[in-house]
Amino acid sequence: MKTNNKINTKVSIAGLELKNPVLTASGTFGYGLEFEEYMDLNSIGAIIVKGLAIKPVKGNKTPRLVETTAGIINAIGLQNIGVDAFLKDKLPKLKKYKTPIIANIYGTSVEEYIEVADMLEGTDVAAVEVNISCPNVKKGGLAFASDRVAIKGILDGVKRVYKKPVIMKLSPNVGPLEELAKFCEDSGADSLSLINTLVGMKIDIEKKKPCIANIYGGLSGPAIKPVALAFVHKVSKAVKIPIIGIGGIMNWRDAVEFMMAGATAVQIGTANFREPDASQKTAVGIAAYMKKNNIKDVKTIIGSLSC
């Protein structure tokens, strides 16, 4: 008698169906095309491209990335080619793949977020991920993630002009994250991704100077995994919309942990720097884990933690 080994790895993020729950984290995978020679871009659930602004941004002064004991600290400064160049030069080349493309967007004012989203409406971009960790220039540099009025304005405006799923990317550096997540859900967010990087720094004790020009940067990698995992678990208890887990996910085992904690999908970030095909290996590993444990549907893993 033959055993049915067929498994279902598909998940849905607010109506966007993904072939598996593995996505790439914005800022760690370029515009996707840079990884063509290292992996099969059709092997993962979605590609989230580098954050896009209305106009090109040069980013911060160097040095702007440094290794730490269990991760990296970066202060790239959201360097990007701008939404126009992305639509003209990058997106057409990505269309040959069947993998959905998600645009991470940001601005320095509520109006800029809305303008970028408006430019993406009607394109082949399958969803937008809204980075609210940016400084609001109209509020003296206060991060949008600290300003609920601004968050509500961004969500209202983006959803007015952009009709596909809107994912809010949350920062762990402000307030109780469960409350912020619930506020975003109540304000119309279709999904949440968390966590963004933690604020960190590193010092060169010989030069008595910070190792990066910006002094502080975003800490990512294995060092933040336990923190990210705890936040995903807590937030999953506070909201009903899908959560995409981010933070130190280096392999399929880490991904399964995040899904058990309540994440519908995961993003691979820092691991891409160590292994350019890390996201593909993670997707393959999840499928192998399911077969080994006779798990027919990946969705049964989500929120299956016994506690």
Task: Give catalytic status of residue 134 as yes or no.
Answer: yes
| 204 part of a folded domain | no
The whole domain housing 49 covers 11-59+76-198+220-300
Q: Quick count: other Cβ atoms within 10 Å of Cβ 68?
A: 17
Tell me, what's the pLDDT at 32?
97
Say if 104 falls within a structural domain: yes
Mean pLDDT in order along the chain per 10 residues (307 residues)? 72 97 97 97 98 95 96 94 98 97 96 98 98 72 82 97 98 92 97 96 97 95 98 98 98 98 98 98 98 98 93
Phi-psi region of 69 (alpha: psi -120 to 50; beta: other; left: phi over 0): alpha
Q: What is the pLDDT of residue 1?
A: 32
β 166-169/65-68 pair status? unpaired
What is the model's pLDDT at position 3? 43
End-to-end C-alpha distance for the chain, whole angstroms = 37
Q: 159 near 187, Cβ under 8 Å?
A: no
**CA distances for 296 relative to 5, 44, 121, 260, 291, angstroms:** 8, 19, 36, 15, 8
CATH label of the domain that carries residue 154: 3.20.20.70
Residue 96 has, within 13 A of its CA and on its CB side, a CA count of 7
Q: Is-contact 16 190, C-beta < 8 A?
A: no
Task: Tell me the torsion sign for CA atoms 39, 40, 41, 44.
Answer: negative
Active-site residue identified among 134, 184, 211, 307: 134
**Residue 65: inside a domain, yes or no?**
no
Helix (H) or strand (E) holding 131, with range, is strand 125-131
Res 144: pLDDT: 87
- Residue 207 is assigned to a structural domain of this protein: no
- The answer to the question of residue 283 being in a domain is yes
pLDDT the model gives residue 151: 95
Q: How many CA atoms lie within 13 A of 30 on its CB side?
A: 13
In a domain, 3, yes or no: no
pLDDT at 293: 97
Instruction: Count up the domains in the chain and report the number.
Output: 1
Helix (H) or strand (E) holding 179: helix 177-186
**pTM assigned to the model:** 0.96
How do beta strands 191-194 and 166-169 pair? Answer: parallel
